[in-house]
Amino acid sequence: MKFLEKVAAFLLGAIRLGITLLAPLLLQKIWVVIHISVDIIYTTPPPGLLG
């Protein structure tokens, strides 16, 4: 059981480290997508104004 506990602790640590390293990249990508979407929404005039 001690060995399994060590393996579990190692996996949890690795997952936590991976999330810590990847979170900023994911947030940056999400922010870019939101920014582009907002730009498209605001630069495209509503159909009512065109008609």
* Joined tokens for residue 42: 């605001």
pTM score:
0.47
Q: Torsion angle, CA of 42/44/45/50, rounded to 10 degrees?
A: 180
Binned at pLDDT 50, 70 and 90, residue 49 comes out as low
Q: Most distant CA pair in the chain: distance in Å?
A: 73
Amino acid type, 12: L
Query: What's the residue count for the chain?
Result: 51
* Joined tokens for residue 11: 């996996």
The residue with greater pLDDT, 16 or 1, is 16
